[in-house]
Amino acid sequence: MLIKKAYSGRIKGMNEINSASSKEWLLFCRRFFHNPSCIGSVMPSSRFLARKMVRSVAWEQCGLIVELGAGTGSCTEYLLANKPQRTKVLVFEKDPVFRAQLAEKFTAVPLYDDAAQLAEILAAQGIRRVDCIMSGLPFAMFSDAERQAILAQIQRVLPRGGQFITFQYSPQMYRELCLKFSEVRIGFTFFNLPPAIIYSCRR
């Protein structure tokens, strides 16, 4: 009884930063222990981080936005709530359990699996370029080859001036992003577990 109370108190405390439900939080934790290098975090992003990511989008130039690594949809929810009506959203999520949950939550959003196949999957839909890519992918947990392959896919579909927005928990990606993009802006939020760096880049 006491343990249950302490446990639910802790989850309640987490929820002040993180708007995800306790059920979602537990699911995230379970999927992390199932495949840590793919999931990359024990809990979904906070609403503060999601808001900062979505605020970085240059909506006036954005007809099509692709989200990579949507997880349980913390950022997707903000994206859909804040995008102009004309902007189309496509979502990629590799974990099948998360994908099933996203399909249930966001019935009208086209869902795909592996971001490593980004350019091919989009080409099969007749899409050659996207205006903005918003990513929750845990690049720091990927092998060098995997990170390079996904960054190359992103470069293939982003035209010059296209936006790439990502969050990371360490500054490890900074140099690489500066080499690959013509502009890299940095933001932070401490209101996330762990605190996150937000990179807003232009190709």
Ligand X SMILES: C[S@@+](CC[C@H](N)C(=O)[O-])C[C@H]1O[C@@H](n2cnc3c(N)ncnc32)[C@H](O)[C@@H]1O
Q: Which of 65, 66, 91, 116 binds ligand X (CB under 6 A)?
A: 116
Q: Which of 62, 70, 90, 102 binds ligand X (CB under 6 A)?
A: 70
Site string for ligand X, 27-66 (x = CB under 6 A): -----------xxxx--xx---------------------
Q: Which is nearer to ligand X, 150 or 184 (CB)?
A: 150
Taking each continuous run of H as one helix and of E as one strand, the counts in the chain are 9, 7
Bridge partner residues of 198 (DSSP): 167, 187
Q: Which is nearer to ligand X, 62 or 196 (CB)?
A: 196
Residues that contact ligand X, how many (by CB under 6 A): 23
Instruction: Tell me if the bond preceding 110 is cis, omega within 30° of 0.
Output: no
20, 22, 27, 32 alpha-carbon torsion, rounded to 10°: 70
Question: At a CB cut-off of 8 Å and minimum separation 6, what does 160 contact?
Answer: 182, 203
Q: Which is nearer to ligand X, 19 or 182 (CB)?
A: 19
Stretch that binds ligand X, among 2-10, 83-91, 109-117, 181-189 (CB under 6 A): 109-117
CB of 1 to ligand X, least distance (A): 32
User: What gap in Å lies between CA 10 and CA 201, rounded to an integer?
Assistant: 36
89: left (phi over 0), alpha (psi -120 to 50) or beta: beta
Instruction: Rule CB under 6 A: say whether 199 interacts with ligand X.
Output: no
CB of 105 to ligand X, least distance (A): 13
Residue with tokens 């349980």: 72
Using CB under 6 A, list all residues that contact ligand X.
38-41, 44-45, 68-71, 74-75, 92-95, 98, 114-116, 136-138
